[in-house]
Amino acid sequence: MVSKMNYPYANGTIAAIEEKILDKNKLSKLLQKQPQEVIKSLADLGYGEKHTNNLEGLINQELKKTKELIEDIAPETKYSDLFFVASDNLNIKSLYKMKIFELYREDILVDSGVIPLDSLKKAILENDFSDLDKSQVTLFKEINGQIEGKRNPRVISAIIDNCVFKYLFLRLKKHPNAALKTYYQTFVDFANVKTFIRSLNLKWTVDEFLEMFIDGGKLPQALFVEIYDKSVDNILKAFNNDYEGEITKGLKKYFDTHDLNSLERYLDQLMLNIMKEFRFDSFSIGPMIYYYLKKQAEAKNIRYIYANPYLNASMLLEY
């Protein structure tokens, strides 16, 4: 374990290793390789662990190493812990669905959250909260109360999302941090935009959409309700005043192509661009958050290459 450092020293450590990230140019060398060749090439480059023979295992190991590095060097774990709760959220939803529907899939759990997997399993599968702190116990009791009797996986996910993000925003009020607030508000807004588009495609009612809406972002629920099932022009205008019109640009491209995957990549790129402003804030956790987001983008690029060996490198995320 590395001893705790001050922010300039910790962020200097991050700056020194940033060049090792596999950017678009480095990853382009993996194009036109067969899946197992991609895994071997990544392991040879020091990504993940050499003995791993499946892609998700490799990515999980790499992100776990990155998380452990940030935890070791971050001067204030109250901020790094809040950032990694996003990974806990994935595990929480998976474990509740395993419990409710009796479909056990340990392989879909990730090892990059704040709460150890064994403690999460005890809390969710056994209602044993002995490993959790007071705020976490409150979170899980609220989730249990809200999902009781629910059998719709979509609704269960939405309830958990709202409980977890409510927990996060309450913690951020106690421990304010500009980078974390920007990240989570943007994350919520972009999630709601994607849900809005999917809802329109699936011809859901506005009430069905609202079941999936996550509170806490900058874009209010009323904005989405007002334009639900309205014309494309009305939808584009509605988002033009937020995020400097960048969401509108992404939606315009989507309505031209109806390619939801491209919209998701556009919003991923926009998130990176927004968080880049915290890259040089040497006296906060901002550079560490941005570094981890780059590692997540690196993982998304790797998955994309693995699934589409003949794609054009220009379609990869830039960071």
Helix 246-257 and helix 260-275: axis angle, to 10°? 160
pTM over 0.85: yes
For every residue of 260-307, DSSP letters joined together read HHHHHHHHHHHHHHHHGGGTT-TTSSHHHHHHHHHHHHHHHHHHHHHH
> How many whole angstroms separate alpha carbon 278 and alpha carbon 282?
9
User: What's the mean per-residue pLDDT of the chain?
Assistant: 94
Please report the pLDDT score of residue 53 as a whole number. Answer: 82
> How many whole angstroms separate alpha carbon 101 and alpha carbon 121?
15
At 189, the pLDDT band (50, 70, 90 cuts) reads: very high
43-78 pLDDT, tens digit per residue, is 888 898 877 888 998 999 999 999 999 999 999 989
